Amino acid sequence: MVDANVFVAAVKPFAKRQQSRRAIGSLSLLLRLVTDAELELFASRPLLDEYRQLAKELSSETSTLILDQLSSKAREVAEMEKPKSRPASLTS
């Protein structure tokens, strides 16, 4: 799954009615991810929640449409736990 910054870069210009080359590239990437049947998307619950919050803050039709597509295509995965540090006696 892509970082939330890509999501913001793709949809923020539409919320503010301005476009940039970077925004078009980010939007193109997201559109390919949601439309290409050969690509699989995976996302954690916190990432999807962050996307939802961002879409709400941006309050644009584009953010809602992309969020809906991402949410329906992505398979939710559990967050990986950080490995526990090994006791000093095992590291030497």
Express as a percent the part of the chain with pLDDT over 90: 9
60 pLDDT band, cuts 50/70/90, is: confident
Considering the domain boundaries, does residue 88 fall inside one? no
- E runs forming strands in 12-72: 42-44
Instruction: Dig out the tokens for 2 from the structure.
Output: 């892509």
73 pLDDT band, cuts 50/70/90, is: very high
CA 87 from centroid of its chain's CA atoms: 36
56 pLDDT band, cuts 50/70/90, is: confident
Residue 80, amino acid: M
28 pLDDT band, cuts 50/70/90, is: confident
Range of the domain at 9: 4-77
Considering the domain boundaries, does residue 55 fall inside one? yes
How many domains is the chain partitioned into structurally? 1
Residue 21, amino acid: R
Biggest alpha carbon–alpha carbon distance for the chain: 60
pTM confidence score: 0.63
pLDDT in tens, 29-49: 888 888 999 999 998 888 889
Considering the domain boundaries, does residue 89 fall inside one? no
Considering the domain boundaries, does residue 91 fall inside one? no
